[in-house]
Structure 1
Amino acid sequence: MNNAELNEFLEKYGQMFRPNPWHGIKTWDDESKRVLNAYIEITPNDRVKYEVHKESGYLMVDRPQKFSNIIPQLYGLIPRTYSDKKSADFAESETGRTGIVGDLDPIDICVLTEKNIKQGDILVNCVPIGGFRMLDGGEIDDKIIAVLKDDAMFGHITDVDQVPTAVLEELKHYFLTYKEIPVKEGEAKVEITDLYGAEDAMKVINLGIEDYNEKYVK
Structure 2
Amino acid sequence: MAVDDYFAVEWRSPNSANYSMYFRKGDKYISPFHDIPMFADEANRVYNMVVEVPRWTNAKMEINTKEPLNPIKQDIKKGKLRYVHNCFPFHGYIWNYGAIPQTWEDPNHVDNRTNCKGDHDPIDICEIGYRVAKRGEVIQVKVLGIVALIDQGETDWKLLAIDVNDPMTKDLNGA
TM-score, length basis structure 2: 0.71
Match for 1:83 among 93, 105, 126? Answer: 105
Of residues 27, 32, 52, the one that matches 1:21 is: 32
Q: Any idea what SS the aligned residue of 2:40 has?
A: coil
Q: Find out whether 1:61 has 2:77 as its counterpart.
A: no
Task: Give the match's secondary structure for 2:39.
Answer: coil
C-alpha displacement of 1:155: 4.4
**Are the counterparts in 2 of residues 148 and 155 from structure 1 also a CA contact under 8 Å?**
no
Deviations 1:137-167 (A, max 9, x none): 22110101111103113443112xxxxxxxx
3-state DSSP class of the match of 1:32? helix
Cα deviation for residue 115 of structure 1 reads 1.6
Uncovered stretches (5+) of structure 2, i.e. residues with no partner: 1-23, 76-80
Deviations 1:70-111 (A, max 9, x none): 21111000000011169643xx2x35xx4x111111110111
Question: Is contact 1:29–1:125 with CA below 8 Å preserved after alignment?
Answer: yes
Does 1:140 find its partner at 2:158?
A: no
Structure 1 gaps of 5+ residues are 1-12, 160-197, 199-218
Structure index of larger Rg: 1
Which structure shows the bigger proportion of residues in strand conformation? Answer: 2
| Structure 1 contact 129–158 (Cα < 8 Å) conserved | yes
Contact 2:62 2:72 in 1 (8 A): yes
Corresponding residue pairs, total: 141
Return the structure number with greater helix share.
1
State how far apart, in whole Å, the 2-side matches of 1:156 and 1:88 are.
36
The verdict on how the C-alpha distance between 1:66 and 1:32 changes in structure 2, with shifts beyond 3 A counting, is closer
- Among 98, 108, 117, the alignment partner of 1:101 is 117
- The answer for the alignment partner of 2:94 in structure 1 is 72
CA contact under 8 A between 2:48 and 2:140: conserved in structure 1? yes
Q: How does 1:56-205 map to 2 (within 5 A)?
A: 56-62=69-75, 63-65=81-83, 67-69=85-87, 70-84=92-106, 88-89=110-111, 92=112, 94-95=113-114, 98=115, 100-117=116-133, 119-159=134-174, 198=175
Deviation at 1:59, TM superposition (A): 1.9
CA RMSD after TM alignment: 2.3
TM-score by length of 1: 0.58
Report what 1:173 is aligned to. none
Distance 1:102 1:64, change over 3 A: closer
Hey, what does 1:34 align to over in structure 2?
45
Separation in 2 of the partners of 1:87 and 1:113? 33
CA–CA distance in structure 2, aligned partners of residues 110 and 14 of structure 1:
24
Q: 1:18 offset after TM fit, Å?
A: 2.6
What letter is aligned with 2:74? V
Q: Compared with structure 1, are the counterparts of its residues 145 and 24 closer, same or farther at alpha carbon in structure 2 (3 Å cutoff)?
A: same
